[in-house]
Amino acid sequence: MNLSNQRPSITDEQTSSPLTRTVICLGDSITRGQVSASYVDVLDEKMGKDGFHFINGGVNNDLAYNVLQRLDDFIDLQPQFVTLLIGTNDILAQHTPYKGVGLRMLKHLPQKADFGWYTANLREIIRRIKLWTQAKIGLLSIPVIGEDLHSPAIEVVKKYNIAVRQIAAQEQISYLPLFERQVKYLKTTRTKPEGKAYVHFMLMTGELVAERGLLHVDYDTFSHRNGYHLVTDGVHFNNQGARLIAEEIAHWLKANAG
């Protein structure tokens, strides 16, 4: 399984005809779909026949800063819609010391990740898309990290999502409440009130990659064996998790297709 951190290549086959509506999904590994069930594939299956052409703009381990650095490639395509799902790695880089050091080296970050830098990069991404395209922008809230809704990780996600929602309002773009949808799902479907908290996930991710490559274990089996309902390793998503993301985006696209 290729876990490259390189940006996705955009070929002629990925560009759309004048009759289609191009949707670029920007994000990190959750969007890329190599170690997570692919919500972009779900969207393509659900809406491709309706004239929507989806381009996967996810890169493993990306922070908002990295999305900003590679934005021009997608602006050149002049999409009709852009979805933005980014922030998980910004949180992990700031609040998980070993992850922060690793990401700073791997992703060539010019500074330590922090809350202010994330929001500044997020604003700049949105402003550049607005300046150089006519695309409608859907900004998704940062998804759950682990499934214990009272855990420190979730509290940090909530803090970041307050800012995400404020930025969407200030920039006059659509806010897509993914986190809120996930919380509602977890509260209404699981049999035990408490969920499993996030733990350092790198070893679990490696186990998932190995089991999928060697034993063809599916995301749902791995997820449920580890006590999760939506996530596989605390960060990436099983098939139900991917469907919830796709449903949130699909609802927005249908409402804004005109």
What is the value of pTM for the model shown? 0.90
pLDDT recorded at residue 13: 43
DSSP letter, residue 54: E
List beta partners, residue 52: 21
**Is residue 74 within 8 Å of residue 55, measured between CB atoms?**
yes
List, edge to edge, every strand of the sheet that includes 136-140: 52-58, 21-27, 81-85, 136-140, 174-176
pLDDT of residue 2: 36
At 14 the pLDDT is: 47
222-231 pLDDT, tens per residue? 889 888 999 9
| pLDDT attached to residue 19 | 66
198 DSSP 8-state letter: P
Q: What is the pLDDT of residue 12?
A: 42
Residues 103-126: pLDDT tens digits?
A: 999 999 999 999 999 999 999 999
H-run or E-run covering 176: strand 174-176
Residue 158: count other Cβ atoms within 10 Å of its Cβ: 14
Low-confidence ranges of the chain (pLDDT < 70): 1-19, 201-203, 207-208, 211-213, 215
What is d(CA 40, CA 253) in angstroms, rounded to the nearest whole number? 13
Q: In angstroms, rounded to a whole number, what is the distance separating the alpha carbons of residues 213 and 238?
A: 16
Residue 18 has what pLDDT?
54
- At 18, the amino acid letter reads P
Q: Where are the domains of the chain?
A: 12-256
- The CATH number of 12-256, from 3.30.56.10, 3.40.50.1110, 3.30.465.10, 3.30.43.10, is 3.40.50.1110
What whole-number distance in Å separates Cα of residue 244 and Cα of residue 185? 9
